[in-house]
Structure 1
Amino acid sequence: MKTNFLSSSDLLQVASEEKLYKKLVLQLNKDLKLANHEEEFALDISAEKLKRDLHEIIYILINERFADYLNFLYIIDVPEKQVKSLDGNDVVQLSEEVTFLVLKREWQKVWFKNKYK
């Protein structure tokens, strides 16, 4: 399993190549629902739109509903150590980096489920 991605785009490219992109979107939708978030992504959403829309969701959560943001990270199981290591001075940059961490964690879930099903 490739885990040393350089960016969200790199990760989403690998997910598409391994034909697991739709499962990644399904997993993200499932975890959004568990976090009581109304947003749901279409299975045919482009990788760039998915990344952009998820970034926007995380940005809004950080700025307007911080407790929901923390709950979202908990449900997805993003390592707390990784989130704490990020620079929080620029919220746009922070939300972009958290988007990458979220996608990496969702990718791990999808990859492991596919490998060991």
Structure 2
Amino acid sequence: MITLYTDTSELLQDVTSKKLYSHLIDQLNKDFNYAAVDVSFPKTIKPDQLIAELQEIVYQLIQEKFADYLNLLYIVDVPEQAVKNLDTTDTIEISKQVIFLILKREWQKVWFKSVYSSSQ
């Protein structure tokens, strides 16, 4: 069952404990590729490195390629209302909160695939 997470580290800890971290990386790579964001995360990337890289990517997209940022959110399927409800105007803080939203949505996709593909 999907847990309600309070932060990115907690989410990634749960993903790792369920042995689905590499699937999360695959899903991120797939969606970032669909969104034409030129990045590929290696499966060996540590969770803290992943957080740092995602934050830098999202920050750069917000600052320099806002249309690509919006496209990424659309491809990942981050709820528009969740983005509108972010309670800050600081771009660094927004990028932290957005990567949490991205990872939560990607984790949902991975979790549903793992649960429903193994039950058939």
Could you say which TM-score interval applies, normalised by the shorter chain? over 0.9
Identity of aligned residues (%): 51
Q: Could you list the per-position Cα deviations for residues 61-115 of structure 1 after superposition, in whole angstroms to 9, with x for gaps in the alignment?
A: 0000000000000000000000000134100000000000000000000000000
* Structure 1 counterpart of 2:51: 51
Computed over aligned residues only, the root mean square deviation of the Cα atoms, in angstroms, reads 0.7
Is the contact between residue 2 and residue 111 of structure 2 (CA under 8 Å) also seen in structure 1?
Answer: no
How far apart in 2 are the matches of 1:104 and 1:33?
Answer: 18
How far apart in 1 are the matches of 2:55 and 2:27?
Answer: 16
How far apart in 2 are the matches of 1:37 and 1:3?
Answer: 29
Per-residue deviation, 1:56: 0.6
Which amino acid is 2:12 matched to? Answer: L
How far apart in 2 are the matches of 1:90 and 1:25?
Answer: 27
* Structure 2 counterpart of 1:71: 71
Q: Which runs of 5+ in 1 are unaligned?
A: none
Q: Which runs of 5+ in 2 are unaligned?
A: none
TM-score by length of 1: 0.98
